[in-house]
Chains A and B, each alone.
Chain A
C-alpha cells in the first residue's frame, strides 16, 4: 500500500540495519521492502554516510535499485544552509543530526524513520515527526 503522496526519509541506521539484516532490528529489513510503495528522499548527510559504509560497487547497486523507481525515490546531494543547521544545534542536536534535521525541514518532509534515540526521545520541537521502523510499519498496516 502507499501512504499517500507524502515523502519520507529513512535515516542511515534504517538503511544499514536493513541491509545488514540486523537481528535486533527486523523492522528495518521490512521497511526497506516497502520502498517501491513509498516516496523516499535521501538527504545529503545520509547519502554520504551510506557511501562511507558501502563499497563502490555496493553503492552503485544501491543507486541502480533506487533508479528503478525514479518518481518515488529522490537523492538530494545539495548542502543545507549552515544557519538552518545552527538552529537545530540550538535545539540540542549534534552537528550531524542537525544537518539531517535541517535538510528534512528544507525538503518539507513530514516523517523521518529512525532508530536514533537522540531524534526519537531527546530533541523537542522538530518540525517533522520521528517514527521507529516498527511504528512506521504499523502505519503501513503491516503487523510485525
Chain B
C-alpha cells in the first residue's frame, strides 16, 4: 500500500493476472487503443499492458465481466468519495470547524433544517 496517495486504503488490488506496472489514471485510450499524452516508449508499454488486460477481460464470461465493471465502478466511487472527504475536511480544518463534536454538528444541522424548511415552505 502506498501511504503517499491519501486514499491508499481504497487503491484497487490489481494483482495478477491484471497487474499493471504503472498507474493508468492518466492514460488516454483512443478509438483504436492507442495512447495519448504519454512518451512513446512508456505509452507503448502501457498500451501493451492495457491490451493484455483488455484481452483477459474480454475472455471472461458476461457475468464475470459485469461483476468486474461493478467492482471498478465501486472503486471509482470510493476513490472519488475519499477525494471529496479530504477536500471537505481540509476546508473545515482551515475554518477551525473540523474538531466540532458530533453533538455540536447535530445541533447545527437541526437549526439549519428548521431555517431552510421555514424558508422553503413559507406560507
Q: What chain B residues lie within 8 Å of A36 (beta carbons)?
A: 70, 73-74, 77-78
Answer whether A21 and B77 are a contact pair too, CB < 8 Å, given A49-B112, A96-B117, A115-B106.
no
Answer whether A12 and B113 are a contact pair too, CB < 8 Å, given A36-B73, A95-B118.
yes
Number of interface residues of A (CB under 8 A): 45
Within 8 A of B (CB), among A1-57: 12-13, 16-25, 32-33, 35-37, 44-45, 48-49, 52-55, 57
Q: Are A48 and B109 in contact (CB under 8 A)?
A: no
Among B73, B98, B114, contact of A95 (Cβ-Cβ < 8 Å): B114
Of the listed stretches A62-70, A105-113, A123-131, chain B binds A62-70
Q: How far is the CB of A82 from chain B (nearest CB, A)?
A: 6
- A17 and B123 alpha carbons, distance in the complex (Å): 32
Known: A16-B105, A19-B84, A96-B116. 20 other contacts (CB 8 A): A18-B85, A19-B89, A20-B89, A20-B105, A21-B85, A23-B102, A49-B112, A49-B116, A52-B112, A58-B88, A61-B80, A61-B83, A62-B84, A65-B80, A69-B73, A79-B120, A85-B121, A95-B114, A97-B113, A115-B106
Give the A-binding residues of B (Cβ under 8 A). 70, 73-74, 76-78, 80-81, 83-85, 87-89, 91-92, 98, 101-102, 105-106, 109-110, 112-114, 116-118, 120-121, 123
Give the B-binding residues of A (Cβ under 8 A). 12-13, 16-25, 32-33, 35-37, 44-45, 48-49, 52-55, 57-58, 61-62, 64-65, 68-69, 79, 82, 85, 94-100, 115-116
